[in-house]
Amino acid sequence: MSENTKKEGTVQEEIQEAQVQEEVQAVQEEEVKEEAAKEEKKGFLKKGNKDKAKIEELEKKNAELEEKVAKDKDDYIRLMAEFDNFRRRTSQEKLELVSMASTDTIKGLLPVLDDCERALKVLLESDDSDAAKEGTELIFSKLMGYLRSKGLAVIDAMGKDFDTDLHEAVAQFPVQDEAMKGKVFDVVQTGYTLNGKVIRFAKVVVGI
Q: What is the CATH number of the domain that holds 172?
A: 2.30.22.10
Same domain, 75 and 164: no
Same domain, 18 and 103: yes
Domain termination site, one of 53, 87, 110? 110
Nearest C-alpha neighbor of 194 from the set 139, 154, 143 = 154
Angle between helices 130-149 and 3-125 in degrees, nearest 10? 170
Q: Is residue 12 part of a domain?
A: yes
Q: What is the domain extent for residue 98? A: 3-110
Q: Is residue 141 part of a domain?
A: no
Q: Is residue 200 part of a domain?
A: yes
Looking at the structure of the chain, the number of domains it has is: 2
Q: Residue 62: what pLDDT?
A: 86
Q: Is residue 142 part of a domain?
A: no
Q: Residue 44: what pLDDT?
A: 58
Same domain, 95 and 22: yes
Q: What Cα–Cα distance (Å) separates residue 120 from each residue in 107, 116, 128, 188? A: 20, 6, 11, 16
pLDDT in tens, the chain (208 residues): 555 555 555 656 666 676 767 776 777 777 767 776 777 766 655 666 667 778 888 888 888 888 888 888 888 888 888 888 888 888 887 777 766 778 888 899 999 989 888 888 888 887 767 777 788 888 889 999 999 998 999 999 998 999 999 999 999 988 888 888 889 989 999 999 998 899 999 999 998 8
* Cα torsion through 165, 171, 174, 176, rounded to 10: -50
Domain termination site, one of 83, 110, 137? 110
Same domain, 157 and 105: no
Distance in angstroms (rounded) separating the CA atoms of residues 101 and 95: 10
Q: Is residue 64 part of a domain?
A: yes
Same domain, 100 and 158: no
Domain termination site, one of 110, 141, 165? 110
Same domain, 11 and 76: yes
Q: Is residue 35 part of a domain?
A: yes
Q: Is residue 122 part of a domain?
A: no
Q: Is residue 143 part of a domain?
A: no
Nearest C-alpha neighbor of 168 from the set 142, 196, 206 = 206
Q: Residue 3: what pLDDT?
A: 53
Same domain, 161 and 98: no
- What is the layout of strands, in order, in the sheet containing 152-154? 152-154, 192-194, 197-200
C-beta separation of 167 from 201 below 8 A: yes
Q: Residue 118: what pLDDT?
A: 87
The secondary structure of the chain, three-state, reads CCHHHHHHHHHHHHHHHHHHHHHHHHHHHHHHHHHHHHHHHHHHHHHHHHHHHHHHHHHHHHHHHHHHHHHHHHHHHHHHHHHHHHHHHHHHHHHHHHHHHHHHHHHHHHHHHHHHHHHHHHHHHCCCCHHHHHHHHHHHHHHHHHHHHCCEEECCCCCCECCCCCEEEEEEECCCCHHHCCEEEEEEECCEEECCEEEECEEEEEEC
Same domain, 90 and 160: no
